[in-house]
């Protein structure tokens, strides 16, 4: 039997009652990965490492130990997250030989839950992009149509989950990099509240916005993954100290009395007709389930993208300043002097989009422009937060599309950075305001490409998000 199409919740039962071993499951997933190499969802596969872990878990099951839900479940990890002893490439030429000397906190947490990591997912280089076309290695196509993109930057993770190359993926979301690819590949993607999941051991893009989150087949699986990922980390300065919640207690199965907000500024420009239709059917569904709808005004969402490109590029330029090819990375050996070494290593190692962000970042931070750009963007960020706080006084969650369009063709936006950036227009406000949000699949367009919607919550309201999302996910058959 092929177990790889099941959800984590389903397969976990089989692992626990002994119907299947983790080794068998892991072999099936590894086999899928071999069969579907044309998807380029992974930058590396750690077969031996995975099989060793799987056998260890099987031994524990055999001894009759009580193990967590994730025990023995094969998953994949985005290749900007460190696993000790394995490569972390960030899909960059610069790091193609980099072996992580330590593991990210979230990897340690997943291993404490006995999850079996089978490989690392392709991404846009350093997580900068919305299509994985910026990967220095290869583009991950959409599993539903290979001529289309999988989204990005966690496109490899989304594609892997959709194609059953692992029961879940872990991505990172700085401006939509978990939610947008999840939407384009027809899976569930969660961006947790900033500070809920430790960033220690994840290669930084924009530290004040980065947050890791799970990509899964179902909303309940997302809750299982979040249970494993969260927890205070003293090694991480922005990790929030708060009691650990059990997200599996989120599900009441009802949205009666829940107030869902619709932002009136979202919807007019650039939204695909079929995306709009699907969104309307989602609204209809929730109305029938007893949810109330309120119209809200958040005018500053229209400024969020501009704000995002200033703040994220400024932080990226600063974070990537440490890449000099001295401590790690690819280096030339014929440099005339230290400056020449830096110039050559960085110019050879970084791809086009990464250079573009570094250039934009250093421009907005440079003398004479700092006040007009960086400082202004920080102020607009504060205004946006105030507006979100205000509208959350009158609603529990906000509903938007995740992406203005379904997946676009490979190459279609590659030469127009601004139009590529616009595919994140609904997801970036969430990062700017440090909020949690989840993308849920809601069917397909006429071409057979997935469409998704996004639910945004107040800070630390992941439980509400899970419940509202699950009511649609488990009751609506269309998206399956």
Partner 1 sequence: MITEKDVKHIASLSKLEFNEAEIEGFVSDLNNIVDYVNTLAKVNTDDVKEISNLTPLKELRKDEIKQSLSQEEAIMNAPKQKDGGFSVPKVV
**Active-site residue list:** 78, 153, 177
* Residue closer to partner 1 (CB basis): 265 or 340: 340
- Establish if 417 lies at the interface with partner 1 (CB under 8 A): yes
- Establish if 285 lies at the interface with partner 1 (CB under 8 A): no
Question: Residue 174: which of 211, 136, 216 has the closest Cα?
Answer: 211
Binding test (CB under 8 A) with partner 1, winner from 256, 375, 390, 475 = 375
C-alpha span between 175 and 312 (Å, rounded): 9
* 474 three-state secondary structure: helix
Q: Choose one: 33-41, 73-81, 214-222, 352-360; the region binding partner 1 (CB under 8 A).
A: 352-360
Q: Tell me how far, at minimum, the Cβ of 142 lies from partner 1, in Å.
A: 26
- Establish if 205 lies at the interface with partner 1 (CB under 8 A): no
Query: 179 to each of 31, 121, 132, 215, 302, how far by Cα in Å?
Result: 27, 15, 14, 8, 19
Q: Tell me how far, at minimum, the Cβ of 296 lies from partner 1, in Å.
A: 19
- Establish if 333 lies at the interface with partner 1 (CB under 8 A): yes
* 143 three-state secondary structure: coil
Q: Tell me how far, at minimum, the Cβ of 159 lies from partner 1, in Å.
A: 28
Binding test (CB under 8 A) with partner 1, winner from 138, 378, 444, 474 = 378
Q: In what order do the strands lie in the sheet with 116-121?
A: 42-45, 116-121, 74-78, 168-173, 211-216, 188-191, 437-444, 450-457, 397-401, 259-263, 292-296
Element (DSSP H or E) covering residue 296? strand 292-296
Q: Tell me how far, at minimum, the Cβ of 315 lies from partner 1, in Å.
A: 12
- Establish if 358 lies at the interface with partner 1 (CB under 8 A): yes
Q: Choose one: 175-183, 290-298, 329-337, 440-448; the region binding partner 1 (CB under 8 A).
A: 329-337
Compute the 3-state secondary structure of the chain and give helix, strand, coil in percent, each to the nearest 5: 40, 15, 45
* Residues from 28 through 87 that contact partner 1 (CB under 8 A): none
- Establish if 282 lies at the interface with partner 1 (CB under 8 A): no
Which residues are CB-neighbours of 45 under 8 A, at least 6 positions away? 30, 33, 118, 119
* Residues from 131 through 150 that contact partner 1 (CB under 8 A): none
- Pairing type for strands 292-296 and 259-263 reads parallel
Q: Tell me how far, at minimum, the Cβ of 19 lies from partner 1, in Å.
A: 41
- Establish if 335 lies at the interface with partner 1 (CB under 8 A): yes
Which residues are CB-neighbours of 99 under 8 A, at least 6 positions away? 85, 86, 87, 88
Phi–psi pair at 379, nearest 5 degrees: -70, -45
Number of residues near partner 1 (by CB under 8 A): 70
For residue 131, how many other CB atoms are within 10 A of its CB? 31
Which tokens in the block code for residue 14?
């089989």
Which residues are CB-neighbours of 140 under 8 A, at least 6 positions away? 39, 40, 41, 122, 132, 149, 150, 155, 156, 159
Place of tokens 């002994």: 18
Q: Are 227 and 246 in contact (CB under 8 A)?
A: yes
- Establish if 307 lies at the interface with partner 1 (CB under 8 A): yes
Binding test (CB under 8 A) with partner 1, winner from 181, 325, 351, 452 = 325
Q: Tell me how far, at minimum, the Cβ of 140 lies from partner 1, in Å.
A: 24
* Residue closer to partner 1 (CB basis): 248 or 335: 335
Binding test (CB under 8 A) with partner 1, winner from 62, 340, 390, 480 = 340
Binding test (CB under 8 A) with partner 1, winner from 4, 145, 289, 362 = 362
C-alpha span between 348 and 458 (Å, rounded): 43
Q: Choose one: 62-70, 347-355, 387-395, 404-412; the region binding partner 1 (CB under 8 A).
A: 347-355
The interface mask with partner 1, positions 78-107, x = CB under 8 A, is -------------------xxx-xx-----
Which residues are CB-neighbours of 385 under 8 A, at least 6 positions away? 432, 433, 434
Q: Choose one: 170-178, 251-259, 266-274, 363-371; the region binding partner 1 (CB under 8 A).
A: 363-371
Q: Are 86 and 95 in contact (CB under 8 A)?
A: no
- Establish if 300 lies at the interface with partner 1 (CB under 8 A): yes
- Establish if 376 lies at the interface with partner 1 (CB under 8 A): yes
Question: Residue 88: which of 105, 101, 75 has the closest Cα?
Answer: 101
- Establish if 268 lies at the interface with partner 1 (CB under 8 A): no
Which tokens in the block code for residue 138?
């290869």
Query: How many CA atoms within 13 Å lie on the side-chain side of 202?
Result: 26
Q: Tell me how far, at minimum, the Cβ of 103 lies from partner 1, in Å.
A: 12
- Establish if 355 lies at the interface with partner 1 (CB under 8 A): yes
Binding test (CB under 8 A) with partner 1, winner from 61, 94, 114, 373 = 373
Footprint on this chain of partner 1 (rule: CB under 8 A):
97-99, 101-102, 194-195, 208, 234, 237-238, 240-241, 300, 303, 305-307, 309-310, 317, 321, 324-331, 333, 335-344, 346-347, 350, 355-356, 358-360, 362-364, 366, 372-373, 375-383, 385, 417-418, 421, 433-434
């Amino acid at each position: 039997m092929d177990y790889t199409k099941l959800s984590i919740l389903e397969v976990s039962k089989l692992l626990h009652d002994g119907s299947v071993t983790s080794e068998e499951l892991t072999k099936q997933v590894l086999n899928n990965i071999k069969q579907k190499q044309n998807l380029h969802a992974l930058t590396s596969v750690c077969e031996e490492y995975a099989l060793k872990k799987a056998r260890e878990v099987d031994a524990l099951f055999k001894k009759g130990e009580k193990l967590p839900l994730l025990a023995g479940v094969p998953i994949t990890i985005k290749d900007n997250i460190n696993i000790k002893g394995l490569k972390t490439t960030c899909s960059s030429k610069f790091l193609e030989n980099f072996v992580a000397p330590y593991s990210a906190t979230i990897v340690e947490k997943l291993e404490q839950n006995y999850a079996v990591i089978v490989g690392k997912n392709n991404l846009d280089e350093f997580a900068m992009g919305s299509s994985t076309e910026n990967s220095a290695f290869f583009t991950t196509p959409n599993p539903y149509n290979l001529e289309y993109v999988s989204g990005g930057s966690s496109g490899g993770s989304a594609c892997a989950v959709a194609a059953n190359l692992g029961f879940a993926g872990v991505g990172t979301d700085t401006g939509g990099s978990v939610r947008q690819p999840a939407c384009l590949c027809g899976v569930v993607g969660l961006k947790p509240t900033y500070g809920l999941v430790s960033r220690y051991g994840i290669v930084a893009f924009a530290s004040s916005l980065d947050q890791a989150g799970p990509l899964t087949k179902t909303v309940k699986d997302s809750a299982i993954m979040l249970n494993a990922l969260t927890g205070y980390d003293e090694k991480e300065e922005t990790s929030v100290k708060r009691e650990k919640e059990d997200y599996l207690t989120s599900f009441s199965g009802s949205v009666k009395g829940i107030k869902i907000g619709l932002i009136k500024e979202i919807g007019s420009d650039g939204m695909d007709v079929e995306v709009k239709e699907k969104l309307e059917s989602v609204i209809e569904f929730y109305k029938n389930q007893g949810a109330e709808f309120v119209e809200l005004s958040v005018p500053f969402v229209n400024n969020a993208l501009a704000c995002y490109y200033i703040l994220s590029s400024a932080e990226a330029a600063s974070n990537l300043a440490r890449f000099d090819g001295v401590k790690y990375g690819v280096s030339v050996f014929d440099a005339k002097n230290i400056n020449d070494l830096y110039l050559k290593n960085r110019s050879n190692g970084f791809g086009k989009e990464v250079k573009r962000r570094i250039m934009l970042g250093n421009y907005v931070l440079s003398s004479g422009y700092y006040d007009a750009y960086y400082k202004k963007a920080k102020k607009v960020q504060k205004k946006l937060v105030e507006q979100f706080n205000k509208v959350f006084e009158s609603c529990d969650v906000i509903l938007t599309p995740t992406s203005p369009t379904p997946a676009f063709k490979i190459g279609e936006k590659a030469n127009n950075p601004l139009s590529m950036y616009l595919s994140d227009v609904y997801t970036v406000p969430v990062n700017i305001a440090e909020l949690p949000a989840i993308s849920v699949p809601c069917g397909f367009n006429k071409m057979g490409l997935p469409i998704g919607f996004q639910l945004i919550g107040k800070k630390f309201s992941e439980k509400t998000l899970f419940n509202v999302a699950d009511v649609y996910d488990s009751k609506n058959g269309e998206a399956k």
